[in-house]
Amino acid sequence: MNKTIFKYELEATIHLQSIVMPKGAKILHFGNQRDQLTIWAEVDESEIVLETRLFQVLDTVVSQLLEERKLSYIGTALFHKSGVFVWHLYEALD
């Protein structure tokens, strides 16, 4: 088993976003890297099966979306560009 940390970029949108990653990837962190929403995941590079996972980025104001689908909280990222923006990342479970 050859584990590596991969980086995946997300858009700052409240629409569901899909990311294809090796099956069983473990999300380690969600954060802001150079004004880019980013997920870091530990993956097994020898895993040849890929899976599509769905993520949703929400700001504090649109929290009502939490009641509309099954979501699992991953983390929060802060931006300090022309004010403070707070983004929360969830993975869609259904």
Region at 24 (left for phi over 0; alpha for psi -120 to 50; beta for the rest): left
What does the pLDDT look like over 27-65, one tens digit per residue? 999 999 998 999 999 999 898 999 999 999 988 776 656
What average pLDDT does the chain have? 88
- Could you tell me the pLDDT band of residue 80, with boundaries at 50, 70 and 90? confident
pTM: 0.85
CB atoms within 10 A of CB 2: 8
